[in-house]
Structure formats: C-alpha cells, structure tokens
Amino acid sequence: MNEKPAETILEVRDIHAFIGQFHILEGVSVSVPKGAITVLLGRNGAGKTTTLRSIMGLNNVTQGHIAYMGESLVGRSAHHIAQKGIGYVPEHRAIFKELSVRENLQIAGRKRGDLERSEDFIFELFPDLKRLIHLPGGHLSGGQQQMLAIARALVPDNGLLLIDEPSEGLAPIIIQQLISAIRTLAANKTVLLVEQNFRVASLLADYYVIIDDGCSVASGSMADLTTDSALVQRYLGVA
C-alpha cells in the first residue's frame, strides 16, 4: 500500500542571507511536512538560528525562496509573517520579566479573545503556568520561562511554530516535560525547531535537516539519522 506523502507546509529553497557584510547563509533548503516535527541540526555557528530568523522575516534574504502554505514570504515584514500564523520562540525566550504570567500570555494574542480560546489547551499542556498565573515572569525558573515562551506562541491560532533551542540550560527532568509537551502540541501544530542536544532531537523530531557552514547538507527521517553514525559524527561531532 502506498502511503500518501505529507503535505509540505513550509518550503525554504536555497536561501542566502547576510548579517551586516557577512554572508551567513549560502544555500539553505528545508521542507517542513505538515503535522510533523522537523529539527535543524548542526554545529555552533552553522546558521540554524539565522535560518529561523530568515523565515520569520527578521533577517534579510537576498536570494532563494520561502513559501508558507504556498505564499511567498521573502521580503515580507515579520509582522505580516506572524499574521499568517507562524509563531516564533526565540533562543533566549524573550518573556517580559515584570509582567505576570497572565499578562505575558494576554499580550501574545493577535485577536480579541485569543487567550480565552487557547487557555484550556495551554494549561493542560503546562499546568505549572496555571498555578503561577499571577507571578511576574522574572520569578519563574528557567524551565517555567521556557514553557511560558512556548505557551505565548500558542495563544494566537498559529499553524507553525519555530522554536529555537528549547532545552538549552535546562535540567534533564524539565527537558523530559518539555519533550512530552512539544510532542503533545505537535498533534495540532507543525513544529520546526533548532536543538543542539542530539539525544533530545532524536526523541522529539520526525525529520531533520543538517546545516553546515551556512549550507544545508543532509536531510531525511530522524529514525534513519540515528542509525547513520558516520553522518552524525561527520557533521555533529557526536558519537
């Protein structure tokens, strides 16, 4: 029996991007299948964060093509791209430390009533946030702040979440909770993430793309990558 291939929700084709005078991305292609988790892998400084920022319109793309549900995003503002239903969780979480958990969630809404529509799902996913709803964001632990950062991207009705390094700096038990929350939310959303920790990536992702020195060099199913130790060793330097 032939299985129908998943629809591609985001197509990044051969993009180039500069930061100042530096040519950082020199040909990155990423196909993101709808309803799955895709991870960008690669060494420090390879260009993973720059790829997410370029998709989000936060970096200028000078060449190549990005399409979300068939619509071109190149040259569009970050605001326009967010309106299309793409949520971005940046590496350093960027939560408002003086605002309460509820206020952090409220200002993430795009339309009136967004939080009311999404809060049951969010609090089921992250019960801690419900308990801490009145606490300032700055009083949360690192893991709770990461949960709040992801929760904010779930307030509007986003179809695609871009999540940069969700496990960075967190204790193993918290990482376990995050993995399970991201897998649960991926039942309704498509996820593209950057993850340095190969073990976490292999537990989370369905598909991978390796970026090396500003170029995408390999891609496929995560299950295949975990058995290809030569490829893993060559580009990621882990056994």
Ligand X SMILES: Nc1ncnc2c1ncn2[C@@H]1O[C@H](COP(=O)(O)OP(=O)(O)OP(=O)(O)O)[C@@H](O)[C@H]1O
Size of the site for ligand X (CB under 6 A): 13
DSSP label at residue 191 = E
Applying CB under 6 A, the span of 17-25, 28-36, 77-85, 224-232 interacting with ligand X comes to 17-25
Q: How far is the CB of 106 from ligand X (least distance, A)?
A: 30
- Which of 13, 19, 60, 228: binder of ligand X (CB under 6 A)? 19
- Rounded CA separation 35/38 (Å): 10
Which region, judged by CB under 6 A, interacts with ligand X, from 40-48, 109-117, 149-157, 182-190? 40-48
Check the CA dihedral 82-84-89-90 and report its sign.
negative
What letter would DSSP give residue 189? S
8-19 and 22-33 as β-strands: parallel, antiparallel, unpaired? antiparallel
138 binds ligand X (CB under 6 A): no
* Binding-site member from 38, 49, 146, 177 for ligand X (CB under 6 A): 49
- Binding of residue 238 to ligand X (CB under 6 A): no
Is residue 24 a contact residue for ligand X (CB under 6 A)? yes
Give every strand in the sheet of 71-72, ordered side by side.
22-33, 8-19, 61-68, 71-72
Spatial contact of 54 and 29, defined as CB atoms under 8 Å apart: no
Single out the residue of 48, 93, 152, 189 in contact with ligand X (rule: CB under 6 A): 48
Enumerate residues 144-203 that contact ligand X by CB under 6 A. Answer: 196
- Residue 45 lies near ligand X (rule: CB under 6 A): yes
**Which residues partner with 26 through β-bridges?**
16
> Shortest CA distance to 146 belongs to which of 110, 183, 177?
177
* Binds ligand X (CB under 6 A): choice among 50, 177, 190, 216: 50
Contact call for residues 97 and 142 (beta carbons, < 8 A): no
In the complex, least distance from residue 110 CB atom to ligand X, rounded to whole angstroms? 27
Binding residues (CB under 6 A) for ligand X: these are 19-20, 22, 24, 42, 44-50, 196
